[in-house]
Structure 1
Amino acid sequence: MAMARWLSALVLALILLITGCASPPPSPYEQVQQESTQRNAPAAVSRQATQGSELNRFFPPEGNGFERIFVQEKKGFAEAKLKKDGKELAMLAISDTISTPEAAAKFQSTTMQIAGYPAVEVGTTQTAILVANRYQVKVLSRDPSFTASDRKEWIEKFDLAGLAQLAP
C-alpha cells in the first residue's frame, strides 16, 4: 500500500513536471500578426493624422434645444451625437482622410457643393463634404425626421473655415 502511494505520487509529480514545462500552444493570432508585420503592412492610422481632440472644436455648438454629445475621439476621427428632447437625431463626424485616401477619392467626380466644398450623398441617410482636400465632415441621419436638408444645414454649422486652416 505504501509503495502504491509512493508510486502514485511519483507518477503525479512526473506528469506535473512534464506538462508544466511544456510550452503553451501558439496563439492562432500569433502567425497572422507575424505575417502582417513581415510584409511591412501600413499603419491603420497615419502618423500625420490630426488628433481627434483637435477636431472637437470645429463641431457645431449646442443650442436651440439641441444637445451635442461627443461619443468617440481617436487619432484622425471625432464623432458626436445630436439630440433634441432626448431623441437621437443624427451623428456628426469629422475624419482626417490622410489615413483613408479612398474616403477623399469619392469627392473627385462630384458636382454637388455645400458651403463651397465638394459634397456627396451616401444612400438616403448620409451627407458629407471634403474640406481642404483633407477633412471629411459627415452628418448621418439617425431618425427619419432628420432629412437631407437638415444634414446640409448642420454641415454648414461646423467651423469649416477653421477646419480648412488646420490642413497643412
Structure 2
Amino acid sequence: MTFPRGRRILAAVLLSVLLLTTACSPKTPGRFDQAQQESSRQKSGQAVAKDATQGSKLNQFFPAGGDGYQRVYTQEKKGFSEANLKKDGKVVAQLSISDTTSIPGAAAKFSNSTKQVGGYPSVKLGNTQTSVLVGKYQVKVLSKDPGFTSADREAWIEKFNLDGLAKLK
C-alpha cells in the first residue's frame, strides 16, 4: 500500500506533535506523591534543636523493671529516648521521654490540661497513650497490649523520676 508523499509527511508531523505533547505534558500526581511531599516538608522543618538534651542523659529517669516487667531500651538519639516494657517476653507498652524544644507546639497540648499525673499536667490521646509535661520534657507511655490500661500507663508514668527530670536543663 503506497501513500502519496503529502500524506506521509502529514502523518510524520502529526506523530511528532503527538509525541512532543505527551512527553512534555506535566505528569499527573500518583497516589503517594502528596504524602511524600508532606513528609519531606515535615522532615525539613523538624530538625533537632541544637540545645536538645542527648538521649543518653534521659535514660537515667526511666523506671527500672521489676514485678515481672523488663525495660529494654530501643532508641536513643538527641532529644529522645525510648524503651519497651515487656512482660513474659511480650511488649506491653512503650515508654519515652522527648525534649519538646525540637518539636514546636508539642508542649501546647498540655496548656488546657485538667488532669495531673505525678504532679504534672497530663493528656490522653485516644485509648492507648498518656503523656505528662515535665518542664521541657514530654514523658509518654503508649499501650501496646489491650490489657495495659490507662491506669497502668499512669502508674508507670509515676515510676519515672519526674522530679529529677524537671531539674535537668
Q: TM-score range by the shorter chain?
A: 0.7 to 0.9
Deviations 1:69-92 (A, max 9, x none): 000000000000000111110000
Match of 1:128 among 128, 131, 146: 131
Aligned to 1:72: 75
Deviation (angstroms), 1:137: 0.1
The alignment covers a number of residue pairs equal to 128
Does residue 1:87 correspond to 2:90, yes or no?
Answer: yes
Aligned to 1:108: 111
Aligned to 1:156: 158
Deviations 1:55-77 (A, max 9, x none): 00000011111100000000000
Match of 2:58 among 49, 55, 76: 55
Secondary structure in 1 matching 2:106: helix
Aligned to 1:16: none
Residue type of the alignment partner of 1:64: D
**2:93 & 2:65 partners in 1: Cα distance?**
13
Does residue 1:97 correspond to 2:97, yes or no?
Answer: no
**1:137 & 1:147 partners in 2: Cα distance?**
17
Secondary structure in 2 matching 1:101: coil
Aligned to 1:144: 146
Q: CA RMSD in A?
A: 1.5
Instruction: Give the unaligned 5+ runs of structure 2.
Output: 1-36
Instruction: Give the unaligned 5+ runs of structure 1.
Output: 1-31
What TM-score, normalized to structure 2?
Answer: 0.73
Deviation (angstroms), 1:43: 6.0
Secondary structure in 1 matching 2:102: coil
Sequence identity of aligned pairs in percent?
60
Q: Is the 8 A contact 2:46 2:103 kept in 1?
A: no
**2:145 & 2:67 partners in 1: Cα distance?**
18
Secondary structure in 1 matching 2:151: helix
**1:155 & 1:42 partners in 2: Cα distance?**
30
Deviation (angstroms), 1:103: 1.0
**2:130 & 2:120 partners in 1: Cα distance?**
12
Secondary structure in 1 matching 2:123: strand
**2:156 & 2:71 partners in 1: Cα distance?**
12
- Shift >6 Å, 4+ stretches: none
Deviation (angstroms), 1:101: 2.2
**2:62 & 2:104 partners in 1: Cα distance?**
22
